[in-house]
Every structure is written in structure tokens, then in C-alpha cells.
Structure 1
């Protein structure tokens, strides 16, 4: 495995000879090791993603072990060079969701660039820092690697502003959903910012929420991720080179005869039945509006749950047959009983 696969997963080969803190000054051996790290040769697909990401905000969807971090390193060098050429002291911020990843990715960036790099997380006590402490860090470092909560807190207290950032990298960016700090950073500060930084996201699996049961669900989640990160997902079309570099499961296609039984009548009956239940929900709502303050909310949630259940059952019926549709029905009933 060469340097191009660094930074993905627990097997990070970049930790081997690329030391970042030589004893008593920078020895010739250390200089040589660091130079070897910096002279890595990117693969063709890495260059493809890199070139796209220099033009517009991008989410790189690549397999674990395919070298996403090295693409990020190339972008750090690119935007760092632009900052230097413009005599601009703008920051580059690398976000990772765990302390372990923050520490690991910081070492990778130190090994492969000449920038001043430091990492930040709650265990270092940064949540107690005041403006003066942050100002010292801003003057000293060009690349900051941190957990998203650290950045979110610093932005909320105005110790940092996105106007001073040229590039923001989101490692494992699929976490940008719900109320995650990734999401809060983008919604509270990025989307309303006049001078937006460039954005680069990295993920092996952009869909993490449970309950994905159709192509539409997948597309909706992908679209939501793109909207939150103001980016476009980019995946490598020609996978030949990736398959040579990254161990992956072998796909086997098994074909079967198309079904001869039509379930259209059954689907229609399900829709009629659900329509009746929907009508009953509305009747109950009309009777209880004056009795319960949250009647509107309960009715809305119940109708939504009924509609979603029908869509999932019909999808299974159409694509996987009667047995799978039956199991999907059982699951929907169990979930409904748990929620009450």
C-alpha cells in the first residue's frame, strides 16, 4: 500500500517514517523523510476528484482506503498556495468527528505539507479559551484540525468568523444531518455568510439514516446532504484503478425470471384501505380538537406515518414480492405500536 491510501480507516500507513517532531531540531534524516512524504504520486482518480474540488464545492464519495485524505492534503496545498500568493492570512480548517481522527489527520497534514498545523478538541481545554487564546492560535497556525463542536462554539462566541477561512474540509461528512455540529455550522454560519469558504466533504457512505427503503429515500438523503454542505457529490465513474488499490467484496449478479403474477389489484386495495384509515384519523381529529392541545400535531404525524408505511409496503410488493411486502407490513405495525 502506498501513500495514496493514507488517512482512511485505522490502518494509516502514513504514520510509519513521517515523523513530525525530530529531536533537537530538524535533522537531515527528518528533512529527507518529510520530503519523501510530500513527493507522493496521486492516482488518476485522486487527481480527477481534486480537479473537480478546486472548481466548486465537492463531496468525494470514495471507498474506505481509497485515499480521500490525500485529496484533502492536495487541496490544502492548493488553497494554501493561493493564500500565500495573495498575502492573505486566511485559515484552512479540517473538521473530523472524533478526537482520534482529529489527532490522526493532523499528523498526516503535518507530514505532507510545510504549513503550521495544530489540532483542537475538548480534551485540550479549548472550550475554556477566551478571545486572546484564539488570537494567538490564529497568528501562529495556517491549518487548524478540530472537532466540529470546537468550531461551532468558537463561531458562536465570535472567536472565529468564516470570512477568515478559505477552505473547510468535512471528514466523514455523512454526519451532516439532524442536529449534528456539522449541520449547525452550515445552517447557523455558512449559508448566511457573505464570503463563503470553499467546502470539501469526504465520505465512504453518504447515507447513514435508518429506514431507507426506496430509491426515492436514497435520492432525498443525498440531496439533503448536498444542500446542507452546499456541494455536489462526486463519485469515480471508472472504478478499475480503485479496484486494484482497494480490497472490496466481489459482486455476483444472479438473474431470475420476471414474475408472472401481478399485484396491481392488491396495491389498489391497500391504497383504498389506507384512504379509509386516513379518513378515520381526520374524524378523530375533528372530535378531539377542543379536548387536546396537541391534537393537530398528533393528527399530522399519524397521517404522515400512514402514508410512509403505505409507500414502503407497496415498494416491497412491486420490487421484492408478496413475502417481503408481508414482512414490511409487520415491521410497520410493530413500529406503529411502539410509537403509540
Structure 2
């Protein structure tokens, strides 16, 4: 089960709802796992929090600056997150999703990458490798965002980033987890509480679902309906193209 944080959310013309502002305000001072339905605008909460905490990432690392790191599971999510953040933030953003292009022996290259960019988006394993080779440290991170954070279990790279590197750093970054599901596996309702507690312990964060459930549900339903209508329109246009192509073929046959 996945949360599909980016693909199902269009935030280009979006004003924050009260529950999003409420959650963002909490996330400014404490680690949170934002567990909201698909289409409820989890990504916008991340955008607002990045803005709120951005002064420190606008500075050079040598001047006490830090960096915001966004961890994702797939190349496609890395690409889409990068586009979304670029659309809404006046910060230098770059994504790293191709393992073949990652040279763990080039210390100078990574020093430049972290100095030049203020928000860096990584597939989890790549960032874990960089930390393991001492090419960067969580001490220099102000905000660590985990997309689809329910994957942070067992020996998953999400979990290992926290277990091997978060616990040992001196200056802990703020943690923001985004998910539509407490667990990535199908589990019985009676085990849900245990799964939630384990996720909170690994991410050192508290699960937050928002206080205004009616507004959250309403917003999610509206966005899902809009997305469904968009797909309907796409399919209708495909059918029109097929008919036009068929007519064109028949005309060509008649000319012959």
C-alpha cells in the first residue's frame, strides 16, 4: 500500500485549509508523522514547513547554514517532488535518483552539491550510502522529510537512516513523515496500534491526523473527484482521436 503523495495532489492553485495550517504549526516545534487521506494536501504542509524553516538553509554551510533533505522511494516521485517544490519555493533544489551517477569516492563533488543546493531530494538508499561514507551528516540537516514514511520498518533504508545516523548525531533535524497509511502491509485492526507505535519510535515522531476530520474528508473527496474527472476527460479525448483517425483512414481509402 502506498500513499502516492505527489501524483494525486494538484497544489498549483491551492490555499491552505485550517487543518493544514494547524499541522504545520505543530511541525515547527516537534517531529510529526502526518497521516492523512490521499488527496488531502500532505505535500502542501511540507511546502509550508520548508518555507517556515528556510532562513537557515539560505545560508552557506560554512556560515552555520543547514540543508533540507527529502527522502523518497522512486525516481518518479523524486522528479515530481522536485517540480512541485520548484513551483512553490524560491530555493535551489536538486534531486538525485540515478545510482549509476552516484560516485561515493568524489568528496569534492558532494561538498559542492550540498553547498550549492538548499533542498536535496534523494532516493533513500542513495542518501543512506552518502551518510555511511561520511559524505554528509544529519547534523547539517534542519528538516528531514520522509515521503511514504510507513516504509520505515525493519532494515528498510528509511529505518536505517534513523537507526544508524539520527540517533548518533549531535544536532537532531526536525522530522516530517508523510503517509496515507500507518503500515505498508495489510494488517489486522487489532495490530494497528502496535504498528503505529513502532513507526513513531523509529521516526522519533508523533502521528498527527488533524482535528477537523470533516474538513479533511471533504477536501480529500473534492480532490479525488477532480482527479477522476481529469482522467475521464483524457479518456474522452483519446476516444475522439481514435474516431478522427478512423475517419481519416476511410477518406484515404476512398481517395485510392
Interval of TM-score (by shorter of Structure 1 and Structure 2): 0.7 to 0.9
Q: Corresponding residue for 2:188?
A: 213
Whole-angstrom CA distance in 1 between matches of 2:178 and 2:103: 26
Partner deviation per Cα, 1:208-240 (whole Å, 9 max, x = no partner): 234x3352x211110100000000000123212
Q: Which of 50, 68, 72 is the aligned partner of 2:46?
A: 72
Contact kept in structure 1, 2:6 and 2:80, CA below 8 Å: no
Deviation at 1:105, TM superposition (A): 0.4
Unaligned 5+ residue runs, structure 2?
Answer: 225-256
Q: Are 1:94 and 1:145, in contact at CA under 8 Å, matched by a contact in 2?
A: yes
Distance 1:88 1:80, change over 3 A: farther
Does the CA contact (< 8 Å) of 1:162 and 1:197 recur in 2? yes
Contact residue 57 and residue 232 of structure 1 kept, 8 A: yes
Q: Structure 1 residue 50: deviation in Å?
A: 0.3
Within 5 Å, which residues of 2 pair with 1:53-202? 53-84=27-58, 88-123=64-99, 125-128=101-104, 130-202=106-178
Q: CA separation in 2, counterparts of 1:127 and 1:147? A: 15
The answer on whether the counterparts of 1:59 and 1:200 sit within 8 Å (CA) in structure 2 is: yes
Q: How much has 1:84 moved relative to structure 2?
A: 4.2
Q: Is the 8 A contact 2:97 2:123 kept in 1?
A: yes
Match of 2:20 in 1: 46
| Contact 1:96–1:170, Cα closer than 8 Å, also in 2 | yes
Within-5 A mapping of 1:16-27:
none
TM-score normalised per structure 1:
0.60
Q: Runs of 4 or more off by more than 4 Å in structure 1? A: 82-87
CA contact (8 A) 1:89 1:142 kept: no
**CA–CA separation in structure 2 for the residues paired with 1:232 and 1:76:** 19
> In the aligned structure 2, how far is the partner of 1:57 from the partner of 1:13?
25
* Residues 98, 147 of structure 1: 8 Å contact kept: yes
Offset at 1:207? 1.7
Q: Which of 204, 217, 222 is 1:243 aligned to?
A: 217
Instruction: Name the structure 2 match of 1:325.
Output: none
Name the SS of the counterpart of 1:246 in structure 2: helix
Corresponding residue SS for 1:247: helix
Instruction: Give 1:55 deviation, angstroms.
Output: 1.4
- Which 5+ residue runs of structure 1 have no aligned equivalent? 1-6, 15-36, 250-340
CA distance in 2, matches of 1:9, 1:118: 16
What per-residue deviation string (whole Å, max 9, x for no partner) do you get for residues 225-260 of structure 1? Answer: 0000000000123212122221289xxxxxxxxxxx
Between structure 1 and structure 2, the one with the greater Rg is: 1
> 1:27 is matched with which residue?
none
Structure 2 CA distance for aligned equivalents of residues 118 and 82 of structure 1: 18
Please report how far the alpha carbon of residue 127 of structure 1 lies from its aligned counterpart in structure 2 after TM superposition: 4.4
Q: Give the structure-2-normalised TM-score.
A: 0.79
Residue 201 of structure 1 aligns to a residue whose secondary structure is strand
- 5 Å-filtered alignment, 1:253-292, equals none
After superposition, the C-alpha distances for 1:247-290 in whole angstroms (9 at most, x for unaligned) are 289xxxxxxxxxxxxxxxxxxxxxxxxxxxxxxxxxxxxxxxxx
Equivalent position SS for 1:55: coil
2:7 counterpart of 1:13: no
Residues 238 and 82 (structure 1 numbering): CA distance in 2 closer, same or farther, change over 3 Å?
A: same
